[in-house]
Amino acid sequence: MNTEAVREAAVPIAALVGVSKEYDMGKIKVRALRGVDLTVIPGEFLVLAGPSGSGKTTILNLLGLIDKPDSGGVFFNGEDTVPFVLNALAPARRDSIGYIFQTFNLIPVLSVFENVEYPLILQRVPAGERRRRVDAALEKVGLGGRRKHRPSELSGGERQRTSIARAIVKEPAFILADEPTANLDSETGAAVLDLMRRLNADEGTTFVFSSHDPRIISLGRRVVHLRDGAVERVEEPGGRA
């Protein structure tokens, strides 16, 4: 069975079914999503593409279980999460979903090693196992020699690599990346993208990006184009092995 057939046969990790979302902006309501259907399959390199205001970040917030829709279903491992309060979904966010932000969101007073270790402390992983997993994650992102440095001592690319290591260290079901190259120069952004593409190809790490960066869009194995809160079209430029 080829790679494409495996992907099509796989059970979705997460799915949005008929999802709509509005935000109250004082005297007006802004419709962020309108009846969106979306699945996330294991091993995906999925890109949500579209202009600002198209609904990309709202979809990431729903998939990341940090927001709820006004209507429709948000499924995680086959279970609709909408009936649960957000606090009840904290274990799923902590254990099963990785996050990469354009602003890095590193803790300034912690070293690279400690920033990457932090999610494992929240999971109460034993110290020896934490060290092993953090060392492995840092080697994967090329920061084995920077473990004692603090974020202020790192370049932008190194900070983003640290945030990638923090995301992969807990071995999540999937990783959500919100405009991960927005604050990087073109050369550094290309290197970070190459790293994530290699993690996807070599480790099977599942990524879902929001971006209007042509470089990210060109790498997507599936690209969902959004406009005005709805799916405009879906392309699979890199979908076939």
Q: Output the DSSP codes for 75-96.
A: EETTEE-TTS-GGGGHHHHHHH
| pLDDT score of 22 more than 80 | yes
Other beta carbons within 10 angstroms of residue 40's beta carbon come to 21
Which residues have C-beta within 8 Å of that of residue 205, sequence separation ≥ 6? 168, 175, 196, 199
DSSP annotation of 151: G
Q: What CA–CA distances, in Å, run from 210 to 80, 171, 183, 216?
A: 23, 21, 14, 9
On whether the CB atoms of residues 63 and 15 are closer than 8 A, the answer is no
What's the whole-number mean pLDDT along residues 143-148?
A: 95
pLDDT on residue 239 = 53
**Is this structure's pTM higher than 0.75?**
yes
Checking DSSP bridges between strand 174-178 and strand 207-211, what pairing results, if any? parallel
Which helix (H) or strand (E) segment holds residue 137: the answer is helix 127-140
130 close to 117: Cβ distance less than 8 angstroms: yes
151-177 confidence digits (pLDDT tens): 999 999 999 999 999 999 999 999 999
What's the pLDDT score for residue 27?
80
DSSP 145: G
Q: What is the bridge-based pairing of β-strands 222-227 and 14-25?
A: unpaired
Residue 173 contacts residue 40 (beta carbons within 8 Å): no
As assigned by CATH, the class of the 3-104+172-235 domain is alpha beta
- DSSP letter assigned to residue 121: H
